[in-house]
Amino acid sequence: MNVPVCAEDQAPIKKKSDGIFTNAVVKVFVTKNEMDYYRPWQSKGIAASSGSGAIITGNRILTNAHVVSDHTFIQVKKDADPRKYSAQVVAIGHDCDLALLSVDDPDFFKGTTALEFGVLPSQQDSVTVIGYPEGGEVISITEGVVSRIEVTAYTQSSRELLTVQIDAAINAGNSGGPVIQNGKLVGVAMQVFLAAQNIGYMIPTPIIGHFLKDLDDGTYNGFPTLGIAFKNTENATMRKYYGIDKIEGGVLISKVLPYSPASGYLQEGDILLNIDNVLIGEDGTFPFRGEERLSLTHLITDKQINDTIDLTIIRDGKDRNVQVRINPFVTLVPHPNHFEKPPYYIFGGLVFTVLSTDLIYSWGDMWWEKAPLDLAYYAIGTGSLNEQKRKEVVVLLDVLPDDINVGYHEVGKDVVTKVNGRDIKSFRDLVTVINEVKTSEEYTILETEHASRIILNNKGIEEVNSEILKRNNIPYQYSDDVAGWINGAR
């Protein structure tokens, strides 16, 4: 694995206990201005938070993406040093919840040690979590034990990647701090299991190494995907039906997402037997480090973008070998961005935006229960550009009450399908069509998936728009990107 190592000529290592390097651990202070995706013309306001980070080779600081998301200003501080130094984000990967920071002031790195990277620990190995949990200013050192190694969803992105569970407290502020074994960094503290005490998760070195290698060309591309859903084939009758009862392993491909890397190569009903000559068990796992097993997903995400994987499948009773180039998968509902302002457009008091996971997450930790069912379905159910070839899901988010929209005040959180009979497949479609028909036709007629038709009178609509904005203290009718579309069309 191509990961940085500690240079021999660095500063002497400072230890508080055997193998614990406190001069390689920093506290990260972040000022944030989080976007309000439900009121996209405003932010949620300035807030302060903190996390931890580890110094690695190249005078870089490794931390979590969620620690620095939505930042407007970042400072870092070393142990036993009262001074704070300004820092900048060099790279960020929301999918793997990792970020790299730099500090321009060379004095910051005097007396520090860059941590070497270790290997993926094993179950029951002892590890040490170092960081700055909230509630104090002094560095915290906590012992823990590796309890589980598996592929699971990262809170920051919902991407399923390799994760290590440790029996150690990871509290607010610990995030981004190093997890140490035998004096080497083997993980980055990431998240806590809320349903149990003293259960935390770390990002292991295979994921960190993938992130850093991806950055070799100066651009972060992310983790690839194949774009399939699969079902286990543990049922004996099922295996006999698909003609695999006499062989070992294999899973059923239950869906091939449109426009995914697998589209055109794999089909629903194929049996996936091998990935790069590694046998896939009927439970969807593969052998890993002897007696361990991991989800087949790891064989895919362990690759870099544009790598090729060799697949062995059974189709119509015959073995086939297929090569697929894996790429980033463009999803219908974008993954969390955390930096770009959400687009919006207000017309006749109707507030429009684009469905994103950021918007879905605004319903809170239990968003899958609290968010409107149809919007949640688009976010997790389709997963891809759907058969209607939508580029985006355009949402009528809310209605700002006015005489022009009486009778529609309870409408909202619905997907826009047509405007004056024209299909709406992107947010730009919506803006373009409305700006055409508001002057050329008597009515603007919107169709949504559930509200049927919304009919607005175009007479005096610009004055109505201005009054609604003024009444609701909204500075602009649309976001900056929409302004460019409208001005460009004039």
**Does 333 fall in a domain?**
no
pLDDT of residue 258: 79
Q: Where are the alpha helices (DSSP H) in 312-400?
A: 357-361, 367-370, 373-377
Compute φ and ψ for 107, nearest 5 degrees.
-65, -25
CA dist 44 and 74 (Å) reads 18
- Structure pTM? 0.86
Do 213 and 130 lie in one domain? The reply is yes
Last residue of a domain, one of 325, 357, 381: 325
State the residue range of the domain holding 356. 344-489
Do 200 and 320 lie in one domain? The reply is no
Of all helices (H) and strands (E), which one includes residue 33?
Answer: strand 25-35
pLDDT of residue 5: 34
Is 78 within 8 Å of 112 (Cβ atoms)? yes
Do 298 and 391 lie in one domain? The reply is no
**Does 331 fall in a domain?**
no
Of all helices (H) and strands (E), which one includes residue 461?
Answer: helix 461-471
CA dist 274 and 104 (Å) reads 48
Token pair, residue 10, equals: 């660095």
Amino acid at 185: L
Do 164 and 292 lie in one domain? The reply is no
CA dist 295 and 313 (Å) reads 18
- With vertex at residue 442, the alpha carbon angle to CA 436 and CA 471, rounded to the nearest 5 degrees, is 80
**Does 2 fall in a domain?**
no
Longest dimension (CA), the chain: 78
Provide the annotated active-site residues.
Answer: 66, 97, 175
Token pair, residue 89, equals: 């984000």
Do 32 and 155 lie in one domain? The reply is yes
Do 265 and 131 lie in one domain? The reply is no
- CATH number of domain containing 356: 3.20.190.20
Token pair, residue 242, equals: 């698909």
What b-and-e string marks burial along 394-427, b requiring 16 or more CB atoms within 10 Å of the CB? bbbbbbbebebbeebeebbbbbbbbbbeeebbeb
Contacts of 325 (CB under 8 A, 6+ apart): 261, 306, 307, 308
pLDDT of residue 371: 87
CA dist 200 and 176 (Å) reads 12
Q: Which residues pair with 178 in a beta bridge?
A: 188
Do 317 and 350 lie in one domain? The reply is no
Do 247 and 187 lie in one domain? The reply is no
Of all helices (H) and strands (E), which one includes residue 432?
Answer: helix 427-440
From first to last of its 490 residues, what are the pLDDT tens digits of the chain?
344 333 333 333 344 444 467 899 999 999 999 889 999 999 989 999 999 999 999 999 999 999 999 999 999 999 889 999 999 999 999 999 999 999 999 999 999 999 999 999 999 999 999 999 887 788 999 999 999 999 999 988 888 999 999 997 677 778 999 999 999 999 999 977 655 567 889 999 999 999 999 999 999 999 999 999 999 999 999 999 999 999 999 999 999 987 889 999 999 999 999 999 999 999 999 999 988 999 999 999 999 999 999 999 999 999 999 999 998 867 788 777 666 789 999 999 999 999 988 898 888 877 878 888 888 888 775 444 444 577 889 999 999 999 999 999 999 899 999 999 999 999 999 999 999 999 999 999 999 988 679 999 999 999 999 999 999 999 999 999 898 888 765 5
Of 254, 302, 248, nearest in space to 276 by CA: 302
User: Residue holding tokens 């997907």?
Assistant: 415
Tell me whether strands 422-423 and 318-325 are parallel, antiparallel or unpaired. unpaired
Do 258 and 190 lie in one domain? The reply is no
**Does 71 fall in a domain?**
yes
pLDDT of residue 95: 92
CA dist 140 and 131 (Å) reads 5
Of 167, 481, 210, 447, nearest in space to 341 by CA: 481
- With vertex at residue 468, the alpha carbon angle to CA 464 and CA 474, rounded to the nearest 5 degrees, is 135
Token pair, residue 250, equals: 């294999």
pLDDT of residue 338: 65
